[in-house]
A and B are shown apart, each in its own frame.
Chain A
Amino acid sequence: MTSERSLEALLEEIPVRRMQRRLVRCVPQLDFMAGLPPRFLYTSGRPNRCNPRDVDCLYFSENEWTANAEYRRQWRGTAAESQPRLTFFARAHLRKIIDLENEDVTAALGLTVEDIFGSWRLSRRPTLLQQLGLAISRQRSIAAIRFPSAALRDRNQAGWNLAIFPLSLQEPDRVEILGKSGDVLEQLP
């Protein structure tokens, strides 16, 4: 397995690319807009596919199709799976992201299909993707990982998600939550 130190070294030379696009997330219909101010760009430091515990990370999908699939997977088997949900949009301008669609990147990182799509919630040790997230959170150049949707893979389809590391965002990087008329509700950094 790639060690943490070698991951940090790999980040210096790994292929990166820009990203400028709209992002999407689906959430249950709770009173998210009732807060003053509403808080969408919060991170809890809880582990997820691309970050270990205590590393802040924001997750989005690239389009509504993927965001819906992710939502349905979370709520699978419950009535909420097919109930109305809230969809919110963000706009990201990021100078450098790691794109796992690029085979040169996955080869350089030594990532297998299991590393990318495998189960992580009950893993006793940080997965390789989580170790990569930790390495990214420790530098200020690369701000995000673009990774394939496990929810869509379940359906033999393809879609992409983005894990953004807020503490790695440096101007002119920008992530904005958009309101109804396209006005910015919240912004990072």
Chain B
Amino acid sequence: MSIESDVIHRSEARLLTALGRHYVVLLRKDEPQLLAAIDAAILDLLAEKEIPYQEQLSLRADLGLLLARLQEPCRSILRSRYGLDGSIAEPAELGGSLEGSIREVPRRCLYLLSRYLLARSPEPVPPVADFAETPGSREPAGEPAVDPLGQLKSVVSATEDLRTASGRLSARKVAETFGLSVAELSRLIQRSRQAVSKTPDAESLQPALARFERIARLKAVLSESEFLRWLRMPNEQLDDRSPLDGLREGRADEIADFVEDMLAGNTT
């Protein structure tokens, strides 16, 4: 990739401009190619030897800030991939093995990173909706693409009690927080009670439990008892159903979105 380093001085602008160009060119092509190009652009920039050391540090710091907006495990996976947890020489080594290594990075992590980058690109880019409509590319609604609320200490600490020592969400703790039995929670996440009881913090349960964690963020504002009351209270914004009714109807994403609107102060 050629970089006009005499024109673009700020490393973040350099990163965003390069990625914006790739995005516009590749938008109409298939998604794996787009994500591979974004990944390659980042690796190329990190590996570029002509960038002064100070600017290289600055570039890494900016990338670190961008990745901080992603949730785990994507944050750790991409930090590791781009060498932000190691020495400055490591990304250059990674850059050489792009063709094979792209398969090892979860597509979803790159997708989430690309959404955040493109929303901030200094160049006009087509709307994200176009990308989302590419066949097979629609983001599952469970986790936010970017999650500034998840960076707030008060929000993080409000849901710490849903996790085990391993850091994973526990179905047992989620059930307790929501005032449900493990059997009922198992039904809501469409798993067998036996499987959930056996390994309540199983990796395979994490995506489903993440929706409940987003809802439990409300405890950053409400007490435990108020949260339980809110869950069971008819709500005009849910057509007079309670949030728990919504969960029972399989609308966990919509209830989690509602909570995000409450915490972010969005209009109704």
Contact = CB atoms under 8 A, between A and B. Distances in A.
A61 B268 CA distance: 11
Contacts of A89: none
A44 B267 contact: no
Contacts of B229: 78
A77 B221 CA distance: 13
Contact of B261 (A46, A53, A61): A46
Interface string B247-268: 0000100100110111111111
A26 B145 contact: no
Given A35-B152, A45-B145, A27 B263 contact: yes
Interface residues of B, number: 51
A128 B257 CA distance: 19
Contact of A31 (B152, B241, B257, B268): B152
- In this complex, the interface size class of chain A, counting residues with CB under 8 Å from chain B, is 35 or more
A23 B261 CA distance: 17
B129 A27 contact: no
Contacts of B138: 54
A109 interface: no
A140 B128 CA distance: 13
A170 B141 CA distance: 29
A2 to B, nearest CB: 18
Given A45-B128, A54-B129, A77 B258 contact: no
A167 B237 contact: no
Contact of A46 (B152, B257, B267): B257
A176 B17 CA distance: 22
Given A30-B152, A45-B128, A55-B129, A25 B265 contact: yes
17 contacts: A27-B264, A30-B152, A31-B152, A34-B152, A34-B153, A46-B257, A46-B260, A48-B266, A52-B129, A53-B141, A54-B129, A56-B119, A74-B261, A122-B246, A137-B127, A138-B126, A167-B128
A-B CB proximity, top 9 nearest: A27-B265, A54-B132, A137-B127, A59-B267, A42-B148, A74-B262, A70-B267, A39-B148, A161-B267
Given A25-B265, A79-B222, A137-B129, 18 more contacts: A27-B263, A28-B262, A30-B263, A31-B152, A31-B153, A39-B151, A43-B119, A44-B264, A46-B261, A54-B128, A56-B119, A56-B128, A61-B267, A70-B268, A73-B268, A119-B236, A137-B127, A167-B125
